[in-house]
Structure 1
Amino acid sequence: MNTDYLLAGAGLLAGAMNALAGGGSFVTLPALMATGVPPVVANASSSVALYPGGAASAWVYRKDIGAVAGVSLTRLAVISLLGGAIGSVLLLATPSTLFNRVLPWLLLVATLALAFGKRIATRLHGEGGGEGAGPKIIQSGQFLLGIYGGYFGGAVGIMMMAFWSVTTSTGLNRLQAPRTVLVTAANTAAIAIFAVMNAVRWHDVLLLAPSAIAGGYLGALLGTRLPRRVVEAVTVALAGIVTVAFFAKAYY
């Protein structure tokens, strides 16, 4: 198959997945690696390609953004930017051979977040937990999430929701806007560093990004018609298959 068609198709599917349930990087990352892109560069290029869709979502939510547990969104955005910058530098400093061994574990963490993150968050809110955490815990956790977002980023938005569910009593519906903005903040720092360090395959990004935006639009339309449980089950199943394949490649 022509690699251009492969990447365009991967972008379309990834955009739709992100719009429906998340996990688009489970498609773009393997697609880039399948075309011969080194894993670290593939991860950086995947982050850049999926960035416009996330930024567009943040713009849509701009009127609903607000503080998280009393910590201003501006402060959390700066923390996320710093964490994203550190994470991206760590990624570029990681040898490809080591990243090949680490990647399956990152995919496993992201898969577990996709599978159980929302469920855990909903249950914790239902039980009224998370009222005792102070600003320092919120900011420290956000900093670590920013590093993860810059280094890999798979399902980081869902991880944020789960973390805030443990540490705050804010309703999940009010956390959607801050989540989108802070994920974008972490990614902004990361892609800037990836671009400066020439760690991006721009030809591949230009194939992935437009199709991911189109996929996001189509995914949003499908989201109004498909049962949520079906969408999430298919997404988790695909993430699980990709994770197993990467474990097999790295260790067997």
Structure 2
Amino acid sequence: MNALEAVAVFGAGTAAGGINAVVGSGSLFTFPVLIALGYPPVVANVSNNVGLVPGSAAGVFGYRRELDGQRGRLIRLGVASVLGSLLGGALLLSVLKGAFDVIVPVLILIALVLVIVQPRLNGWLAARREKHHPHGGPWLWAGVFGAGVYGGYFGAAQGVVLIALLGIFLDDDLQRIVGTKNVLTGLVNAAAAVLFVAVADVDWAVVALIAIGSTLGGLLGAAFGRRLPAAALRAFIVAVGLIAVGKLLLG
């Protein structure tokens, strides 16, 4: 890797960390750069995943105030994320492809629709919900597990999916939901990273550059995202999600 390539990887890592702290989809910045530089897809995906872990931690730190009072929820849903991530990582290493290439854009589009209609949907559900569950209940747990499977496999836009799920099943402020999302995506990346380091080929130069860049980006992204009002934050989530779908469909 020459100096210009290193700058490109670092820059992509910084952008990814910033986007991940607010929405997700950061891998759509880093993964294409690594592929363009000639890294094999699995090596690129694995190294990218490991490198983004410090950036996830930075995003969690940036949203630490929004996480107050969420310990029980985070433990419950965190278990689902970790278990799903390990299954997704195993699917990646077994080279299970094809189906995800079709399913993922559809999944993101559905999530974006849910993000848009979430306020009205929340009202409709609240009127029919017999008892509010502070942790979202079994359906949210299952959804977070599924998002973890996807996140362990590839991970781009898993944040959009999680925000949609959390927003529907939890009666909470959108900024607090983003903070919860940061913890869950961080756990997904960390669990998959442990698996990848143990059994897969990792390019540590790539990991170091993305780790430094994503940490810087995570802190900056959190500072930006926490200042957005709910409507603007929702619009930003939808915009990033649409870009993610376009990149996945057009390559």
Q: Deviations 1:99-131 (Å, cap 9, x if unpaired)? A: 3x4564365246526744531333322444483
1:119 to 2:116 alignment: yes
Residue identity (%): 34
Distance in 2 (alpha carbons) for counterparts of 1:155 and 1:241: 12
Which residue does 2:202 correspond to in 1? 200
Q: Closer, same or farther in 2 for the Cα pair 1:192/1:238, shift >3 Å?
A: same
Distance in 1 (alpha carbons) for counterparts of 2:85 and 2:99: 18
Q: Closer, same or farther in 2 for the Cα pair 1:91/1:183, shift >3 Å?
A: same
- TM-score, normalised to structure 1, is 0.77
RMSD after superposition: 3.3
The answer for unaligned runs of 5 or more in structure 1 is: 247-252
Q: Is the 8 A contact 2:63 2:222 kept in 1?
A: no
Q: Which residue, out of 239, 244, 247, partners 1:239? A: 244
Q: Closer, same or farther in 2 for the Cα pair 1:88/1:213, shift >3 Å?
A: same
Runs of 4+ in 1 over 6 A off after TM superposition: none
Q: Deviations 1:78-98 (Å, cap 9, x if unpaired)? A: 222111111111111116xxx
The answer for unaligned runs of 5 or more in structure 2 is: none
The Cα of 1:171 is off from its aligned counterpart by 4.3
Q: Closer, same or farther in 2 for the Cα pair 1:57/1:215, shift >3 Å?
A: closer
Distance in 2 (alpha carbons) for counterparts of 1:135 and 1:20: 25
How many residue pairs are counted as aligned between the two chains? Answer: 239
Distance in 2 (alpha carbons) for counterparts of 1:3 and 1:234: 28
Q: Is the 8 A contact 1:15 1:50 kept in 2?
A: yes
The Cα of 1:234 is off from its aligned counterpart by 5.8
1:159 to 2:161 alignment: yes
- TM-score, normalised to structure 2, is 0.77
Q: Closer, same or farther in 2 for the Cα pair 1:94/1:79, shift >3 Å?
A: same
Which residue does 1:149 correspond to in 2? 151
Q: How does 1:164-243 map to 2 (within 5 A)?
A: 164-220=166-222, 235-236=240-241, 238-243=243-248
Distance in 2 (alpha carbons) for counterparts of 1:233 and 1:160: 13
Which residue does 2:68 correspond to in 1? 64
Q: Which stretch shifts more, 109-118 or 50-59?
A: 109-118
**Secondary structure, in 3 states, of the residue corresponding to 1:22?**
coil
1:73 to 2:74 alignment: yes
Q: Deviations 1:145-193 (Å, cap 9, x if unpaired)? A: 2212211222222212222334344443443333222222222211100
Letter in 1 for 2:29: V
